[in-house]
A and B are shown apart, each in its own frame.
Chain A
């Protein structure tokens, strides 16, 4: 069985500051890991995914995430926050043929 834990339901940063959204996973098989973003009144959009090809994964809008097996983590980062990054972010895990399991989400707030 798989699960993900997203630490912090809300994260606040200033425009231009580093963004760090935390995700820890649990999986009984080698996992596939995903980050999705949801803007208000919208569906989820894939930011990036890890499929074992490389531990540092680059996604859209300047986001990246690093898979750390020893820490069972897949934290999302962006060097410099922009106002347009304000949204809800979901980490998700999929183990092999099993279903995609989502975390509870982290709302990113960006202040001027």
Chain B
């Protein structure tokens, strides 16, 4: 138990579907992140939220839409995805987005786009 919970753990969706990934942390952290982990590629930082404001968007396609309604919850809304979007999506949180603060990761959502 890392303190960061992601649901669902597995998701299979068609290219025309709309789905959402959910992340929840009760560590009192102020920063939350979405990462994409594909086979044989470095972890890719997608979005950073600090105090519920998006502070970084690393050129992520608009078919991925993040939402951070409060400091404990983070969503990733998905629509019209492509097969190459299949990956493990990891949520993380940290005390803040600066300095040597540790990032705590959830267990991830394994997404398969068919």
With both chains docked as a complex, state the minimum distance between the C-beta of B32 and any C-beta of chain A, in angstroms: 13
Q: How far is the CA of A103 from the CA of B43 in the complex (A)?
A: 8
Instruction: Check: B108 CB closer than 8 A to any chain A CB.
Output: yes
* Residue with the greatest number of chain A CB neighbours at <10 A, chosen from B40, B42, B45, B98: B42
**Chain A interfacial residues counted at CB < 8 A:** 23
- Which of A34, A45, A96, A102 is B42 in contact with, Cβ under 8 Å? A102
Instruction: Check: B107 CB closer than 8 A to any chain A CB.
Output: yes
- Which of B40, B56, B107 is A42 in contact with, Cβ under 8 Å? B107
Provided the pairs A41-B107, A41-B110 are in contact, do residues A97 and B45 lie with their beta carbons within 8 angstroms? no
Contact indicator A45/B105 (Cβ below 8 Å): yes
Contact indicator A97/B100 (Cβ below 8 Å): no
Q: Which of B83-114 contact A (CB under 8 A)?
A: 90, 92, 97-100, 102-108, 110
Contact indicator B106/A43 (Cβ below 8 Å): yes
Contact indicator B102/A44 (Cβ below 8 Å): no
Instruction: Check: A67 CB closer than 8 A to any chain B CB.
Output: no
**Chain B interfacial residues counted at CB < 8 A:** 24
With both chains docked as a complex, state the minimum distance between the C-beta of B6 and any C-beta of chain A, in angstroms: 8
- Which of B41, B100, B102, B108 is A43 in contact with, Cβ under 8 Å? B108
Please classify the interface of chain B as helix (H, G, I), strand (E, B), loop, or mixed, using the class held by over half of its residues: loop
B residues less than 8 Å from A102 (CB atoms): 42-43
B residues less than 8 Å from A18 (CB atoms): none
A residues less than 8 Å from B105 (CB atoms): 36, 43-45
Instruction: Check: B76 CB closer than 8 A to any chain A CB.
Output: no
With both chains docked as a complex, state the minimum distance between the C-beta of B26 and any C-beta of chain A, in angstroms: 16
Q: How far is the CA of A104 from the CA of B42 in the complex (A)?
A: 4
Provided the pairs A103-B42, A104-B41 are in contact, do residues A32 and B107 lie with their beta carbons within 8 angstroms? no
A-B contact pairs, 16 of them (CB 8 A): A32-B100, A41-B107, A41-B108, A41-B110, A42-B107, A43-B2, A43-B90, A43-B105, A43-B107, A44-B90, A46-B103, A51-B100, A99-B45, A99-B56, A104-B41, A105-B42
3 smallest beta-carbon distances between A and B, as pairs: A43-B105, A32-B100, A102-B43
